[in-house]
Amino acid sequence: MIKKNPSFKRIALMGRHDRDPIQETLIALHEFLTLRNCPVVYDHETASRLPFKINSVSIEMLAQHCDLLIVVGGDGSLLQAAKIAVAQSLPVLGVNRGRLGFLTDIYPHELATIEAVLNGEYQAENRFLLQCHVYREDHVIASIDAVNEIVLSPDSIAHMIEFEVMVNKRFVCDLRADGLIIATPTGSTAYALSGGGPIVEPSLNAIVLVPMFPHTLTNRPLVIDANAHLTIHITSHNDIIPFISGDGQKCMSIERSDRLILQKHASPLKLIHPQTYDYFETLRSKLNWQSRHRNC
């Protein structure tokens, strides 16, 4: 079921690390694309790391100069690039130097595969993001986007936050826990999985709530409709200052009585995969499903 999609004409290359393999791959891709007469554009930061001088553009202007963003690095690099791409409706292709990831599914030596993608032989997949607005009294004081998950965590050690969870303004429960992971299907194989959450097929319009070390053992992971509005209200008698993070990046401290309102982000991430991509194959590989872990 090979489908022919629009081809990609102008490419942005992005790499977020100084590590040699990333640099090597950027240079190899640069040469490959230039040989094909394909225009290549860089953001200032990536350009500054290259060993040659090249013009670059502001990261917010990438979409005006390209129709595909190729990110060189692991899943972490792709998560960072995703937010920039989503804001500009730019599709993203991940090229991984190490072991393939959940989000990056091409090796840099697979130039034939990359060429095929550029020629329109690819799968395009939308992954939704979460958006979290932080309300203090009646004002939004911050907004956080996440491809994988939003996490409410305690400050340092004091491992217990009390908060109230509501779905579409209906009270769900009071939670006493180390925190709460709110994950997209994409994030269901990331931090939420370590916390006991289920694997959620990426196409499902659902989000997973995983209480972290809850005081009440029956506070199990909960899967709800991704169109729901989720409210988390930090109750006023907490004596610690929790904070929230998005995709593993610490964002801000939350005060008592603050409210978090989470909902699906209006714009999705457009992930580009080679034609051979298979989500379940990635699961089988990353989770060692071919192994038999126990005896007898």
**Which residues belong to the active site?**
75
Q: Judged by CB under 8 A, does residue 38 bind a copy of itself?
A: no
Q: Judged by CB under 8 A, does residue 156 bind a copy of itself?
A: yes
Integer Cα distance of 135 and 152 in angstroms: 14
Residues 132-151 that bind a copy of itself (CB under 8 A): 148, 151
Q: Which two tokens stand for residue 197?
A: 């959450």
For residue 80, what are the contacts with CB-CB under 8 A and spacing of at least 6? 16, 247
Task: Report the nearest approach of a copy of itself to the CB of residue 159 (Å).
Answer: 7
DSSP per-residue letters across 56-86:
-B-GGGHHHH-SEEEEES-HHHHHHHHHHHH
Task: Report the nearest approach of a copy of itself to the CB of residue 172 (Å).
Answer: 5
CB 103, CB 94: distance < 8 Å: yes
Binding a copy of itself by CB under 8 A: which of 95, 231, 245, 271? Answer: 245
For residue 107, what are the contacts with CB-CB under 8 A and spacing of at least 6? 95, 96, 100
Residues 175-204 that bind a copy of itself (CB under 8 A): 176-178, 188-191, 193-201, 203-204
Binding a copy of itself by CB under 8 A: which of 54, 124, 141, 158? Answer: 158
Give whichever of 161 and 193 is closer to a copy of itself, judged by the CB atom.
193
Name the segment binding a copy of itself (CB under 8 A); options: 11-19, 51-59, 75-83, 106-114.
75-83
CB 147, CB 269: distance < 8 Å: yes
Q: Judged by CB under 8 A, does residue 75 bind a copy of itself?
A: yes
Question: CB burial class (10 A; 0-12, 13-18, 19+) of residue 139?
Answer: exposed
Task: Report the nearest approach of a copy of itself to the CB of residue 236 (Å).
Answer: 18
Residue 151 identity (one-letter amino acid)? V
Instruction: Give the number of other CB atoms < 10 A from CB of residue 292.
Output: 7
- Per-residue contact flags (x/-) with a copy of itself for residues 199 to 238, judged by CB under 8 A: xxx-xx-x-x---xxxxxxxxxxxxxx-------------
Give whichever of 3 and 250 is closer to a copy of itself, judged by the CB atom.
250
Q: Judged by CB under 8 A, does residue 167 bind a copy of itself?
A: yes
